[in-house]
Amino acid sequence: MVKDRECSFCNDSIPPGRGKMHIQNSGRVYYFCSSKCEKNMVKLGRKSKDTEWAAGD
């Protein structure tokens, strides 16, 4: 059984077959529910606690 993943940026639930997986050269794996979350974390280097719409800790 495939389990739901959690977005690495906004902590939303990602159902199976949805979202994106980003793997860094160091081997660290990130899961994203949308391209918005991916761009904010990977490309722009933002923290989820600094954005109002993300419920990150």
Which string of DSSP letters, residue by residue, matches 20-34?
Answer: EEEE-TTS-EEEESS
Could you count the other beta carbons within 10 Å of the beta carbon of residue 8? 21
Mean pLDDT of the chain: 90
For the ranges 16-20, 21-25, 28-32, 53-57, which has the lowest average pLDDT? 53-57
Which residues carry a binding-site annotation for Zn(2+)?
Answer: 7, 10, 33, 37
Spatial distance between the Cα atoms of 19 and 38, rounded to a whole number of angstroms: 10
Spatial distance between the Cα atoms of 21 and 7, rounded to a whole number of angstroms: 10
| pLDDT for res 53 | 82
Confidence label for 55 from pLDDT (cuts 50, 70 and 90): low
Q: What are phi and psi of 33, to 5 degrees?
A: -80, -25
Q: For the domain 5-47, what is the CATH superfamily, name and number?
A: Ribosomal protein L24 (2.30.170.20)
Q: pTM of the prediction?
A: 0.83
Which residues carry a binding-site annotation?
Answer: 7, 10, 33, 37
| pLDDT for res 1 | 76
Spatial distance between the Cα atoms of 9 and 26, rounded to a whole number of angstroms: 18
